[in-house]
Amino acid sequence: MSKEILNVDLRLLILSMSLRRIVSGCLQVIRSLYLYIIGYDLVAIGLLSMVAATVGAVRSVFVGLLSDKYGRKKFILLGGILSTFRLLIFAFFTDYVMLIIAQIMGGMGEGAGAGQPSVSGLIADKTTKESRVKVFTIIALVSSLMDILGYLFGSLPEHLQPLLLIGEVESFRLIFLICAFLSFFSFIFILPIREEKPEISREAERSFLPRKSVAIISRYSFVRAIGGFGFGITGDLIGPWFKIRFLMGEEVLGPIFAISRFTSTILYFLIFRVKGEIDEVKMIFFNRIISAAAMLLIPFSPSYIVFSLLFVIYRASLLITAPIRQSFIVSIVDPSERASAVGFSNFAWMSLRSLSPAIGGYIMQNISMPLAFIIGATMTGLNGASYHLMLGGKRTERS
């Protein structure tokens, strides 16, 4: 089935993203830990993360607009180059200013996932409406497997130290160098891809901002902003909450994350085997309600076993909607504004997603730990309802 719907260009794109996903999965494991090891405190590390998130939010909008007008491929190539330089800086420099520069480059990187503007636009350009959900699902499946591989790769520093007779810091730097090589190699796969830029009307050429799909982009961005706040208010605080609540750490939480990712991988197969068209809005609404219910129950878990079950349900129900949502938005906007739609909606998501952990942390520390989860569950349920109310019903679908 996959050979019938994946042309050569899509296969090259998937190969490129696969390498980038290994790198991103590895960085999730080692980046903050490395910064702590070389002497930076949690505030300094948090500020570095905020720099990347802020730049990424702005980048998402501008890349979306520019790639609709000037093509997707060049921005994916630029993202690979910037990501490679970022990793090289991490490997060779410890100065805080250089690390800020590295994070800016990382925030400007584009091309590691199907949810990014240039990538979503390119996928939409290379697929038909009938095959689009399945293509996004295949990419989500591959990305999930590569994420898991990246998590395992990120666990290597401790094993490399006695094997190569190197110190702790050197072992991390070696991993950064290998990741830089993978990142460099990833954008080579993009070079042979043929790109057909969508035809743009004279009215669109005169306007920098999208006009044909402004109503749907506005509604979709509003809906995603609600979700960004709901998921973010507890998302980055699960680890500390888990340690406080059950006196356990990453040795238990890590496998739980892996199981939730594996569960979503199995569910991707189910989506791929669905015959006929999928009602994307109903599917997202249903899964958001499941996510909200699981989040609401998490703070009242009597044991870590119950928490584990609820957390796997919560994470899997969130992850399973990614390819459906990605296919949905590029199918209902004008083809010349696909990347812009993804860019603006990502900006709305990332803006509130970056602010909500601070609010959640204050609520947990000063008011009530369960209250943060209750607010997050409420917003997640509202996110599902807003999909149904603002994006459901009859709509014009593009090719």
The C-alpha atoms of residue 43 and residue 32 are separated, in whole angstroms, by 11
Tokens of 366: 């000063």
pLDDT at 385: 87
- Amino acid in position 156: L
Print the SS3 string covering 138-163: HHHHHHHHHHHHHHHHCCCHHHHHHH
Looking at the chain, the whole-number percentage of residues with pLDDT higher than 90 is 9
Q: Is 366:217 a contact under the CB 8 Å cutoff? A: no
8-state DSSP, 337: G
First to last CA, the chain: 20
8-state DSSP, 109: -
Give the C-alpha distances (Å, rounded to integers) separating 6 from 57, 113, 245, 345: 30, 17, 46, 26
Tokens of 112: 């590691």
Per-residue pLDDT tens over the stretch 104-127? 888 777 656 655 777 777 777 777
Q: Under DSSP, is residue 256 helix (H, G, I), strand (E, B) or coil?
A: helix
Tokens of 353: 């997603």
Per-residue pLDDT tens over the stretch 226-285? 888 888 777 766 766 776 787 765 456 667 777 777 787 777 777 666 655 667 788 888
